[in-house]
Amino acid sequence: MSPALTPFQARAAAVVQAIQTRICEGLEAVERQHGGTHGFASDQWERPGGGGGLTRVLADGAVLEKGGVNTSVVFGELTEKFARELPGEGRTFFATGVSLVLHPRNPFAPTVHANFRYIEQGQKRWFGGGADLTPYYYYPEDREHFHGVWQQLCTKHAEHADYQEFADWCDRYFYLPHRGERRGVGGIFFDRLFVDPQKPGHDEQLLAFIRDGGMAFLDAYEPILRRRLATPFTPEQRRWQALRRGRYVEFNLLHDRGTVFGLRTGGRTESILMSLPSHVQWGYCEEPEPNTPEAALLEQLRK
């Protein structure tokens, strides 16, 4: 993965790798406790043009139907067109991050996504990331717990993070305009937290925010997963899950900034599209019956 990384680049890469390790170990423990017989498979890859990453995927688990926790450390040259669309300077870039998507088997357990990243383009340097929850059945207590963890994170790093701003940003970002729906019940989202070169240690402070965010992920999601993973369900509820997963696919392929960045910088397609669920359906003009749990979910997402 030459050329050699700068000391700060190496520290940022180590942070995202530590986040990956912690999350995979935590999820493997949940799998083992509920009859799972295998953990995350590891796939080390190299990027033509500079860098590479480690894709870790768990498929057909007892709890997770499909889950991926990926890290990447990539660098090189952007195309002129794409370089002009980013907020930095010039065509040289460096990026490292961790990105995860978990699709549980049980339709009462929500899908979840999170990513934390650091990017350089020329002399401009910035951080981004967040986490969001996509339930198939709406439980206010799950939403409150998930948001509560991220609110605590932002309070701890109040100089750099505003929970309400990031929560509102999340709702705006994870929105499907062609459906008039939010993808889920939110969380936090932030991008282009620029390093101020006039503030000594500012980059280390933002890196600490990213590190703490990644390390807080299991606190935000694992209690919800454990609460729902053994709930009995019917084939009809499983089909509803597959229909709603279609919305997830639509967002990732049409609107997701990370998908676009990965594909347009020559990233590894299999790793980028790891986020897509194994089983998904599309119906035609299907709407749930009024006053059902399925309709209650849509009421939340269409507010």
Query: Which of the residues are catalytic?
Result: 113
Residue 218 CA to residue 23 CA, distance in Å, equals 7
Buried b (16+ CB within 10 A) or exposed e, 27-41: bbebbeeeebeebbe
Token pair listed for 292:
């059902």
What is the chain written as a DSSP string?
Answer: -PSPPPHHHHHHHHHHHHHHHHHHHHHHHHHHHTT-----EEEEEE-TTSEEEEEEEEES-SSEEEEEEEEEEEEEE--HHHHHHSSSSSSEEEEEEEEEEEEESSTTSPEEEEEEEEEEETTEEEEEEEEEEE-SS--HHHHHHHHHHHHHHHHHTTTT--HHHHHHHHHHHSEETTTTEESSSEEEEEEEEE--TTSTTHHHHHHHHHHHHHHTHHHHHHHHHHHHTT----HHHHHHHHHHHHHHHHHHHHT-HHHHHHHHTT--HHHHGGGS-SS----SS--PPTTSHHHHHHHHHT-
CA proximity to 300, closest of 251, 244, 228, 224: 244
Residue 11 CA to residue 106 CA, distance in Å, equals 37
Token pair listed for 100:
């995860």
